[in-house]
Structure 1
Amino acid sequence: MENIFFSNWESIGQTFLVGVLAYFSLILMLRISGKRTLSQMKEFDFIVTVALGSTLASVLLTKEISLMDGVIAMGVMIGLQYILAYVSVRSKTFSKLISSEPTLIFYKGNFLWRH
């Protein structure tokens, strides 16, 4: 418990450096992957976005995970999301498998309780 607030400057410097590099790596990958990664969010896109945030946090706070491991993990998630989006645009069956139809639950000031 003696290192609860401060362990050493090396640890803080490493966290800062890895944080900056991981952040810019994620921004670069999101820019390369295009707007699909962040726009038109469906439930699957939201899950991938949360997973990216979790991966970034793990890279920042877990000393056993290297920056390159984290960058590759984020790249794999973005790549798989891009592939799934590509396939779902070309296959209605696959699109229905990974996405659900929206349900209207509020209309003209009233809740639609049966939905």
Structure 2
Amino acid sequence: MNLDWKYFVQGIDMLPEIFLAAIGIYIVILTYTQIFGLKSFSKMTGFDFLNTIAIGNLLAMSIATAKPGPALGALIIGILYLFNYLITIARFKSKTVEQAIDNSPILLMRDGEILHDNLKQTKITEDELRGKLREANAFRLSHVRAVILETTGDVSVMHTSENLEIEDYILEGVRS
């Protein structure tokens, strides 16, 4: 088998450009984050998560492939930051926009009882639920007050050995 060593060093001549592009894009992202805030990288909603993935993808493509080039990549990333910022403001000011864009969190367990219909609706298996309970160090189902599939896809497990009630504020907006 003949190995073509040129394949392994292909593009090495572009190292200076890649290095400068990486530094430039990095500075641009830091600047945009200062302007638009850290929420730009949050996973608070599915939209925020999508924005973070898109920015990361553009960052990598602009540096590694130069398609789009660093300047165009920086511009597109800026547009994504701006779009995320505008959507955040619209969500903040309008309940209708918030409900149209965001998924609602949904209960998977309540007071030690597994809500099988909600598991089925969310396509979460009991094995996955058990895994999340173990991750949260839940020892008894009777100690689990609530398990919630959040809008980000994260699973929150609220448990205690004490017989505490969950305040309504904490479960506000959660579908049961």
Q: Does the TM-score normalized on the shorter chain lie above 0.5?
A: yes
Give the equivalent residue in structure 1 for 2:39.
36
SS at match of 1:101: coil
- How far 1:107 moved relative to its partner? 4.2
Question: Within 5 A, what are the aligned runs for 1:14-53?
Answer: 14-39=17-42, 41-53=44-56
SS at match of 1:7: coil
Q: Which residue, out of 9, 18, 24, partners 1:6?
A: 9
Q: Which residue, out of 86, 89, 94, partners 1:91?
A: 94
Distance 2:110 2:7 in 1: 51
Distance 2:22 2:112 in 1: 45
- Whichever of the two has the greater Rg, that structure is 2
Distance 1:17 1:48 in 2: 24
RMSD (Å), alpha carbons: 1.9
Q: Which residue, out of 67, 70, 85, partners 2:70?
A: 67
Unaligned 5+ runs, structure 2: 119-176
1:54-80 CA-to-partner distances (Å, cap 9, x unmatched) read 100110122342211011000000000
More strand per residue? 2
Give the TM-score, by structure 2 length: 0.59
Asked which structure has the greater RCO (Cα within 8 Å, sep 6+), the reply is 1
Identity across matched positions, percent: 24
Contact 2:58 2:73 in 1 (8 A): yes
Distance 1:38 1:25 in 2: 14
Report how many residues are paired. Answer: 115
Unaligned 5+ runs, structure 1: none
More helix per residue? 1
